[in-house]
Structures are given as structure tokens and as C-alpha cells.
Chain A
Amino acid sequence: MHDLYWLTQPSQFKAEMSAAKAHDDPYEQLQALGAIAKHNLDFTQTIRLDRRLQSLYKQIDSKAMGLPSIRLAILASATADHLIPSIRVAALRRGLIADLYLAPYGQYRQEILNPASALYQFAPDAVLLALNAAEAGIHLPLGAGENELQDRIAARVEEWAGLWEVITGQLQAVTLHQTMVVPVEQVFGQYDALVPASPANILTQLNQRLRSHAARHKTTLIEIDRLASAVGKQSWCDAPLWHHAKQDVSPIYAPLYGDSVGRVLTAIRGLSRKCLVLDLDNTLWGGVIGDDGLEGIVLGQGSGVGEAYQSFQAYVKLLKERGIILAVCSKNNEETALEPFFHHPEMLLRRDDISIFVSNWEDKATNIRRIAADLNIGLDSLVFFDDNPVERGIVRKYEPAVAVPEVPDDAAWYSRCLSDAGYFETVSFSADDRLRTEQYLANRQRQTLQQKTQSIDGFLAQLEMTMSVAPWDAVSIPRVTQLINKSNQFNLTTRRYTEAQVRQMSQDSDILTWHVRLKDSFGDNGLISVIIARPEQAGDRQSLKIDTWLMSCRVLGRQVEHEVLNLLATYACGQGYDRLVGEYISTPKNSMVREHYLRLGFTLLSEDTDDSGIVHSLWCLELKKFKPTKTFIQSSFDSKESA
């Protein structure tokens, strides 16, 4: 791997850069640059794009535009200036505005431990510790034993973990930590790994220790050792440049480095892709099922080509197991397209692995829109994998939000391509993720029921919904954080919090931190709503002010918000509050909840519109006058864990 080969070649780079400049409106300029960023840019092109971005970011207010953004601080032990453009461009490639701060070279401890440092002023959402092998600083006599080595490694990693805790606790930011690039140079030759104190073994062991600590501390690793291996360590670090300029990553590979960081930032913001849309003919098997028939398609043991397609299916099945939704989008008669799924003995993917199966003769852009609508997810959650360049071109043209990788000519490289492209990066893996495919399937069945049932009340009654509300706990915090960072539509204030901040709030007994789960006759919808509220005193009136109220759009129109209010009002009353205060802050995406509080019986206290057109309204509900709304939901409040 040498470049971002899954992206299309920037054949019109220069012309597109000029065209982007011609836009007077900064937002349009940003859109144009975002489209250019989706190409396989080399490092000089990346530098050029980034120069534009830097000046553009000074002119725009990402918040007012409703654009997702993230503040990343980079604390490095080597030169990292040359990596900055690629990180900014990689974030933009995924629709994320990255605001970066690079601490002075080698000053990471001072920056983290001194609350007056520039790092604290910057107030990052995430902190990247880019420490290299030299910074590990473990030098032992070659005769040193395993115990001595482990003691030294433990001490070093404990020290770093201490810094991670400061980053989480004081800066309330997410920590990213780079693994060490294990050197290629050998001292004993191939015997190196058997000598505890050989440089290569020290760093290998250190990486292992970093990984086990990271899992415990919720630190995300940037696996630079893996990336350097994939590129080839011989060229990953240009040895003369290391000595001469202290660059431990060659500028040539800055785009790959930046993309690795960019995809993690995307995951932190909950913007990673969620669904893989697959073509069938020459994508999941060799040949064309409509022409070649069940016996004619090439799949499975016995031929190299057939094994390659099967191994791709095995990889896709793993993606499904980790919670990536699978969909099929094929130009075929549906009956023909389904045949291999039911009758081909070598098919690893079965019909029930696929959440949505669309096979017809309409154009693929239309079908992809249908898939997104049926799954109730945005087009920006989809990856479309199709061997046919024409279909890829059509989808790129008409639905640019869909990620469409260039597909290798040989199926043997398909899984590597999907893996290298990193669309599905994550910073956590929870039980809810694994359930997701089942959840989307159940949602389809619910929609079918809704179509069959005449009245909405009849539909809701048949769903037999049960809702449980409880304060956040260790299990729910990853999913709560995910929702806080990715919900746009049913989100009253769109306040984003990092996992560290979420954890902090959950431990603060003054703050109400609730999550809501919903089950129904079709299955478990999982954790679908989050509430944060804080006490507020106005005169002698005790108010409970709702800082955050958000809900997954999967459960819209199910009376969940009414039932949540029933519980919230009862709880607040019991705690001696006089009233609930609700807040709405407009974004380009949340107009559906503009009248949320009005619908729930709140009265308007105030409404302002600022210069950039953002509406900010405050609402109030007198608890004495509140009467619960009758819903079709059985609810329970688990106060045991209540803080």
C-alpha cells in the first residue's frame, strides 16, 4: 500500500482547485474542496488543498452551518508539522471540520500537566499522543532478563496511562495514542525476538502493553506499526529525514497517516459508515447469475477465482457480525438474484444476513436512495461496493454522500480494499452494535405491520412496547456518547460531548443523566434516547433545565417522547422541582423538533434569533398543572442506579 488507492484519481485536480476558488460563498467553496478531498491526492496536492482550507476555516463558522467539527490537539515527540495538512484533509474527506493544535515538539508532559498551557486554552475534544520509539526511552543491557524488561515497560506505560487520565479527567477529551514502529534493523538477526532486551523485542512488548492498557482506559490506538508494515517500513520512515529533520514518517506517506487519524476522528464523532451495499454479479461471485445460472457462477473451493469470491464473502460476514448492516443492490430479477442465497452450497452469505435486498432493473442511484430510506439512515452512512465502474460513476454523480471505493480488478483484493479504506472505523464495540442487523430487520417488519394496520392506535397497541429508563452506567456510556455525537434530527440542542465528559456527568449527582431503551413485539430497539438535565434556580422557583434531549429517528411516531416526559415530570415532581425548562437551538437539520416542547404542552418563555439565523427558544412546564399523556408504552424507571 502506497497511497489512498481506493479513492478515484484526481485527474482534474488543478482545474477543480481553480473552480473551487471561483466560488464567492465560503460554504460552496467548502463543498467544492470537500469533493476534491475525496480523491487519491498525493502529499503535494494535499498540501495545496490544505492551504485553501486553512484560510477558508478562518472565514466560516462550522457551528452556524451545522457542520460536524472536532478539535484535535497533537502532542508529538518528533516533527509532526508535515502531517497536519493530511489530517485536516482526511477529516474533510469525511465531512468533518478539524481544528488542529500542534504542541511544541517534545513538550507533551508539560502541556498535559500544566493547566495554564496552550493545550488547555485550546480545549481539545481529542488529544493525539504521537510518541515514537525514541520517546519510549527503554535501554537495557542486551543480557537483561524478561522481568527487568517487563518492569521497565510497565513503568513507562503506567506513566503514559497517568497522562491519559489527566486528558480524560481534566481536559475531558478522548485520548488517541500511537503504537511504536518496531524497527527493521536486527541485532541478532532472526534470533532478536528471543532476546528480551533486543530493541525490536522491547518495542513489540511495549506495543502489547499499550494495547491492553488502552482497552482498560478507553484510549484509542492509532496503529502506526501496522500501517508502517502495510506500507513497508523501509520507506515509511525516510532514514535520512529522521536524522536530518526528525520526521519519523516520510512526507510521501502523510496522506495515509492523516487518513488513519481522520477515520478515528470520524468514529469519535459517530460519523463512520454503517451499511455496506453490495452488488452481486462479479462482486459476490464470479459470472452473471442471470446468464450463467446457479451451476455456471464461479464461487467456492476448487478454483482460485471461486475461492477469492468466497473469501470476500467471509470478510463481509465478519463485518456483519460486528454490526455493519448489509444490503444488496443488484440489476437482476429478484427471483434470479436470490437463487444463490438459498441454493448455492458455497455461498457463505445467506439471505438473512442481508437487511435489505433490492434487485430490479432501475438505476442504482434510485435503489440506493430507497435502501437508505428503508433503513432510516442517511446516504452518508452507506458504502457502495460494485465491480462495475459505470454503476460506481452513476452513484458518485447522483449521490455524492455515498462512499464508493474503486474496486480492484481481481476479487482476491476485495477484502483488502475494503479494509484499507477504513470506512467502518470504530472506537467501541458494544452488544448493541452486534444487534444492529436484527434491529433493522425488525424495523422493516414494523413498517409492514404499519402498512397493514388501519389506525395508528391499532398499530401502536399491537407493538406491545415496553420502555425502561435508567441513569447512565458503564455499559450504556459508549452508546450514549455515540448518540450524543451523531444524532442530528431529533436533537433539541445538538450539544456534543466526548466520552470523558459523558462519564464525568454520569458521576455528578447534581446532573440528571438518563438513557431510554425500547422493546416491542418485533425485538429490542436498544438504547434510543438520551436526556441530560440540570437544576436551575430562578428566584424561589426550582427548575430542572433540560440540557439535552435526543432520540433515534428509528422510533419516531411511537409516543416515546410523551412517555419520557411522563417519567421526567413525575421524577422532577418527586424531587421537589416546580417546573421543567426546555431549550431548543436550531441547526440546519433539527427543524423537526422546533415545536417539540409546544407539542408536549410547554409554554414559550423566550425566543431569539441571532445574527447567523440560529433560533434559540426556551420553554417551561409547570409541574403542578402537568397531566400525564396516555400512551401505548409500558414504562419503568430503574432508580436503583440513580446517582
Chain B
Amino acid sequence: MSREDIYAQLVPIFQDIFDDDDIEIEDGTTAKDIDGWDSLNHINLVLGAEQEFGVKFKTSEVAKLQNVGEFVDLIGLKLSK
């Protein structure tokens, strides 16, 4: 799955969790950039992605993530295995 395809499926999860259809995310987006991205919603995003892509992340993998770009890469890595 290409990064574009991953983004296409990831964006709706962000839209739901932050109730914002106009939300914009890109590789450099971090929690600081989005209002309401707290630790609770961080978990929701990770679980939402697990559900959407049918993958499972380790706590240690998620803890290392610096921004959305790295998250997209991690999803891509899981899907390629």
C-alpha cells in the first residue's frame, strides 16, 4: 500500500476523533498542531488505525513515534510483513 493510500484511510480516523472534516495532516504534523490531541486521543488514534488497517502495534513502537509521517511509515511496514 502506498503512503498516499495509507493517508487516504488515516485521515477519516482523524476527522472522526477530532470531529473536523477539514483537518489537515502531513508528515510533519505532531500532537502540538492539533487541538485536542491528548494522551487519550493518542490511544484512540492508534487503536483506530489498528482497526482500520488490521494491524497491531507494540507499545514500544508507538512510544517512539515523533510525527504523523513516522506513524504512516510504521503502518506501511506492518502491512508489508
Task: Name A's B-contacting residues (CB within 8 A).
Answer: 14, 17-18, 42-45, 47-48, 51-52, 81-82, 238, 240-241, 243-245, 247, 250-252
Given contacts A81-B40, A247-B43, A251-B43, contact A44 B48 (CB under 8 A): yes
Which residues of chain A have C-beta atoms less than 8 A from B59's C-beta?
A: 240, 243-244
The distance from the CB of A626 to the nearest CB of chain B, in whole angstroms, is: 60
Assembled-state Cα–Cα distance A247/B47 (Å) = 12
Given contacts A82-B44, A252-B47, contact A48 B16 (CB under 8 A): yes
The answer to whether A245 touches B39, judged by C-beta atoms less than 8 angstroms apart, is yes
Q: What 0/1 pattern do residues 28 to 64 of B give for CB contact below 8 A with A?
A: 0000000000011001100110010000001100000
Which residues of chain B have C-beta atoms less than 8 A from A251's C-beta?
A: 43-44, 47
The 8 Å CB contact of A47, one of B39, B44, B51, B58, is B44
Which residues of chain A have C-beta atoms less than 8 A from B16's C-beta?
A: 44-45, 47-48
The 8 Å CB contact of A241, one of B15, B18, B19, B43, is B43
Assembled-state Cα–Cα distance A518/B58 (Å) = 65
Q: What 0/1 pattern do residues 7 to 37 of B give for CB contact below 8 A with A?
A: 0000011011111010000000000000000
The answer to whether B19 touches A42, judged by C-beta atoms less than 8 angstroms apart, is no
Assembled-state Cα–Cα distance A547/B37 (Å) = 48
Given contacts A240-B58, A240-B59, A252-B51, contact A44 B43 (CB under 8 A): no
Given contacts A240-B58, A240-B59, A252-B51, contact A44 B44 (CB under 8 A): yes
Assembled-state Cα–Cα distance A250/B13 (Å) = 17
**In the complex, what residue of chain A is closest to B44 when comparing beta carbons?**
A251
**In the complex, what residue of chain B is closest to A241 when comparing beta carbons?**
B43
The answer to whether A82 touches B48, judged by C-beta atoms less than 8 angstroms apart, is no
Which positions 58-76 of chain B face chain A at CB distance < 8 Å? 58-59
Assembled-state Cα–Cα distance A240/B61 (Å) = 12
Assembled-state Cα–Cα distance A241/B21 (Å) = 28
Which secondary structure characterizes the binding site on chain B?
Answer: helix
Which residues of chain B have C-beta atoms less than 8 A from A51's C-beta?
A: 18-19
The answer to whether A18 touches B39, judged by C-beta atoms less than 8 angstroms apart, is no
The answer to whether A43 touches B48, judged by C-beta atoms less than 8 angstroms apart, is yes
Assembled-state Cα–Cα distance A81/B44 (Å) = 11
**What would be 21 A-B contacts, judged by CB atoms less than 8 Å apart?**
A14-B12, A14-B21, A42-B51, A43-B51, A44-B44, A47-B16, A47-B19, A48-B17, A48-B19, A51-B18, A240-B58, A241-B43, A244-B59, A245-B39, A245-B43, A247-B43, A251-B43, A251-B44, A251-B47, A252-B47, A252-B51
Most buried by A among B16, B44, B47, B51: B16
**In the complex, what residue of chain B is closest to A52 when comparing beta carbons?**
B19
The 8 Å CB contact of A43, one of B12, B21, B39, B44, is B44
Assembled-state Cα–Cα distance A82/B43 (Å) = 9
**In the complex, what residue of chain A is closest to B51 when comparing beta carbons?**
A252
Which residues of chain A have C-beta atoms less than 8 A from B19's C-beta?
A: 17, 47-48, 51-52
The answer to whether A44 touches B21, judged by C-beta atoms less than 8 angstroms apart, is no
Assembled-state Cα–Cα distance A251/B16 (Å) = 14
Which residues of chain B have C-beta atoms less than 8 A from A250's C-beta?
A: 47
The 8 Å CB contact of B47, one of A17, A43, A52, A81, is A43
Assembled-state Cα–Cα distance A250/B43 (Å) = 10
Assembled-state Cα–Cα distance A109/B44 (Å) = 29
Given contacts A44-B13, A44-B48, contact A18 B21 (CB under 8 A): yes
The distance from the CB of B16 to the nearest CB of chain A, in whole angstroms, is: 4
Which 8 A-B pairs have CB atoms at the shortest separation, nearest pair first?
A44-B16, A51-B19, A48-B16, A240-B59, A44-B48, A48-B19, A251-B47, A244-B59
The answer to whether A47 touches B17, judged by C-beta atoms less than 8 angstroms apart, is yes
Which residues of chain A have C-beta atoms less than 8 A from B40's C-beta?
A: 81-82
Which residues of chain B have C-beta atoms less than 8 A from A45's C-beta?
A: 16
The distance from the CB of A471 to the nearest CB of chain B, in whole angstroms, is: 50
Assembled-state Cα–Cα distance A540/B75 (Å) = 80
Assembled-state Cα–Cα distance A45/B51 (Å) = 13
Assembled-state Cα–Cα distance A81/B39 (Å) = 11
The distance from the CB of A366 to the nearest CB of chain B, in whole angstroms, is: 38
Assembled-state Cα–Cα distance A267/B17 (Å) = 30
Which residues of chain A have C-beta atoms less than 8 A from B13's C-beta?
A: 44
Which residues of chain A have C-beta atoms less than 8 A from B21's C-beta?
A: 14, 18
The distance from the CB of B22 to the nearest CB of chain A, in whole angstroms, is: 11
Which residues of chain B have C-beta atoms less than 8 A from A252's C-beta?
A: 47, 51
Which residues of chain B have C-beta atoms less than 8 A from A14's C-beta?
A: 12, 15, 21
Assembled-state Cα–Cα distance A187/B44 (Å) = 33
The distance from the CB of B48 to the nearest CB of chain A, in whole angstroms, is: 5
The distance from the CB of A540 to the nearest CB of chain B, in whole angstroms, is: 61
Assembled-state Cα–Cα distance A14/B20 (Å) = 11
Which residues of chain B have C-beta atoms less than 8 A from A241's C-beta?
A: 43
Assembled-state Cα–Cα distance A533/B18 (Å) = 50
**In the complex, what residue of chain A is closest to B14 when comparing beta carbons?**
A44
Given contacts A82-B43, A241-B43, A251-B47, contact A44 B58 (CB under 8 A): no
Assembled-state Cα–Cα distance A82/B47 (Å) = 12
Assembled-state Cα–Cα distance A245/B39 (Å) = 9
Which residues of chain B have C-beta atoms less than 8 A from A17's C-beta?
A: 19
Given A43-B47, A47-B44, A51-B18, 8 new contacts (CB under 8 A): A18-B21, A43-B51, A82-B43, A82-B44, A247-B43, A250-B47, A251-B44, A252-B47
Most buried by B among A82, A238, A243, A251: A251
Which residues of chain B have C-beta atoms less than 8 A from A48's C-beta?
A: 15-17, 19
Given contacts A250-B47, A251-B47, A252-B51, contact A44 B17 (CB under 8 A): yes
**In the complex, what residue of chain B is closest to A54 when comparing beta carbons?**
B19
Assembled-state Cα–Cα distance A244/B12 (Å) = 26
The distance from the CB of B31 to the nearest CB of chain A, in whole angstroms, is: 15
**In the complex, what residue of chain A is closest to B39 when comparing beta carbons?**
A245
Assembled-state Cα–Cα distance A247/B15 (Å) = 23
The distance from the CB of A80 to the nearest CB of chain B, in whole angstroms, is: 11
**In the complex, what residue of chain B is closest to A251 when comparing beta carbons?**
B47
Assembled-state Cα–Cα distance A51/B20 (Å) = 10
Assembled-state Cα–Cα distance A238/B62 (Å) = 15
**In the complex, what residue of chain B is closest to A55 when comparing beta carbons?**
B19
Assembled-state Cα–Cα distance A45/B18 (Å) = 10
**In the complex, what residue of chain B is closest to A238 when comparing beta carbons?**
B47
Assembled-state Cα–Cα distance A48/B58 (Å) = 26
Which residues of chain A have C-beta atoms less than 8 A from B43's C-beta?
A: 82, 241, 245, 247, 251
**In the complex, what residue of chain A is closest to B42 when comparing beta carbons?**
A245
**In the complex, what residue of chain B is closest to A84 when comparing beta carbons?**
B40
**In the complex, what residue of chain B is closest to A81 when comparing beta carbons?**
B40
Most buried by A among B21, B44, B47, B51: B47
Assembled-state Cα–Cα distance A241/B51 (Å) = 15
Assembled-state Cα–Cα distance A349/B18 (Å) = 50
Which residues of chain A have C-beta atoms less than 8 A from B39's C-beta?
A: 245
